[in-house]
Structure 1
Amino acid sequence: MARCWSIHQLDVKNAFLHGDLQETVYMHQPPSFVIAKSDTSLFTFKHGDDMAYLLLYIDDIILCTSSDTLRDRLISHLKIKSPMSDLGPLNFILGISISHTPSYMLLSLQKYAQEILERAGMGTRKPAATPTNTNAKRSADSGPPVADPTQYRSLAGGLKYLTFTRPDIAYALQQMCVFMHDPREPHLNALKCILRYIQDTVDHILHVYPTSTLRLIT
């Protein structure tokens, strides 16, 4: 974003992976295949002033290049190796909706958040103004165990993915994930507080702005 490079999305055509099989198939790697010590999914290219970054997730590719000419050239080379479709500027990947403006990028998981609320059966519960009560004291053995620990873990895990575009719930959720091994009723109530907060802010999206420096800060 800092250099206003183009970001395109490609999709590798793997229709054969989605066929309906009548029998169970077990596969093993060929003898010549060596498992790498690192699972590389980010690839870089640099030649003179030309630079490109390619991010691969299964059959989805995000390609960021320093020029449109380089982008078209790389896509042509990739299509020689595997049939793929150029989906144009990046706008949706892994459930995340992406919008671009001249000044910033917008990331949204609104549809995913609504699905979590439906799965939790929140309905028309009273919304919460904040994701957590900072004054509440919770311990591992506070209150009776929840009736369905699996549901608690499922909702907490689902909310974990939502933090990619909703960092405002990250702290509150982290506090509840501590009790996933043995969730109690007060923990479930706190988790529902996060859900009620999301219900009130389901249209919130993450704004990503370019910076004047290209340093990676963690």
Structure 2
Amino acid sequence: MADPSLFTKHSGKSFLALLVYVDDILVAGTDSNQIKDLKQLLDRSFKIKDLGALNYFLGIEAFRSSKGINICQRKYALEILQENGFLEAKPSRTPSVPGQKLNNLEGTLIEQPEIFRRLVGKLLYLTNTRPDIAHAVQQLSQFVDKPRDSHLVATHRVLRYIKGSPGKGLFYPANPNFKLQGFSDSDWANCIKSRKSITGYCIYLGESLISWKTKKQATVSRSSSEAEYRALASTTCEIQWLKYLLADLNSEIHSPVALFCDNNSAMAIYELKCL
């Protein structure tokens, strides 16, 4: 199995999937009777509480319609704003200042670093449905050890951006096109201190965004081509894992996966490696 918390069952034309997170369970399938039998079995063994159709799971809100399903973390986002006193703040159009590069030298150390750490941790969880803040939060997460007032100001800008659209999330159409494609990019030598680059990618299943990441690369890249190639490699690994996961969900992808990159030299290296 691609995901150790996912359990599936194939029985003729019916399919059943069970996703477990500690004591929370999601059940999906093509046969309602099979789902009912499973819930009865679990109730006899563990005394479960059936909450009905999916509408709230681990802080993620789900809204179903005939057109598809929309997920967001509006309640969670509003709780973050209220806890930090930003419910009445003036909204910001962007989660960070364009071109801003944070470092660990400017500004003074804040007196209560645990406040910053807790806030960044909550923002990291919010990126589960908010890819638009992923890069800004990734930058802030690098300074949880010794946060400074400049980092706190940058975090407050993220909060003001969330204030403008706390209910923003992701929409997944009911009849998606099962075409998998990925987009890869990197920001060469982004980190001022270590000169490490940033990998960024997003992967779509049809029109649905199903995976994304912004992460500092493990080693220093000597050129933009090398940084782009490392980003391509990370994206390829994620695509391969998603193919395994979709196969477990009885939705195997047989067509070639398109992977897009805007660096010609990196694509040339990648093509040579694939030969």
Residues 36-185 of structure 1 correspond to what in structure 2 (within 5 A)? 40-185=4-149
Percent identity among equivalent residues?
Answer: 36
Matched, 1:213 2:178: yes
How many angstroms does 1:112 deviate by? Answer: 1.0
Structure 1 residue matching 2:62: 3-state secondary structure: strand
| AA of the residue aligned to 1:88 | G
Q: Cα–Cα, structure 1 residues 74 and 182, in superposed 2: closer, same or farther, change >3 Å?
A: same
Which stretch shifts more, 115-124 or 204-213?
204-213
Structure 1 stretches of at least 4 aligned residues deviating more than 3 Å after TM superposition: 214-218
Using structure 2 for the length normalisation, give the TM-score: 0.61
Deviations 1:101-138 (A, max 9, x none): 12221112111111111111224222111101122232
Structure 2 residue matching 1:139: 3-state secondary structure: coil
Deviations 1:52-83 (A, max 9, x none): 11011222211111121221222233233232
| AA of the residue aligned to 1:55 | L
Deviations 1:22-63 (A, max 9, x none): xxxxxxxxxxxxxxxxx9421111122221110112222111
Using structure 1 for the length normalisation, give the TM-score: 0.75
Structure 1 or 2: more helix by fraction: 2
Distance 2:109 2:48 in 1: 50
Distance 1:115 1:156 in 2: 14
Distance 2:129 2:135 in 1: 14
Distance 2:27 2:96 in 1: 38
Which stretch shifts more, 81-90 or 130-139?
81-90
Structure 2 residue matching 1:188: 3-state secondary structure: helix
Structure 2 residue matching 1:206: 3-state secondary structure: strand
Which stretch shifts more, 96-105 or 206-215?
206-215
| AA of the residue aligned to 2:75 | K
Q: Number of aligned residue pairs: give it.
A: 181
| AA of the residue aligned to 2:100 | A
Structure 1 residue matching 2:15: 3-state secondary structure: strand
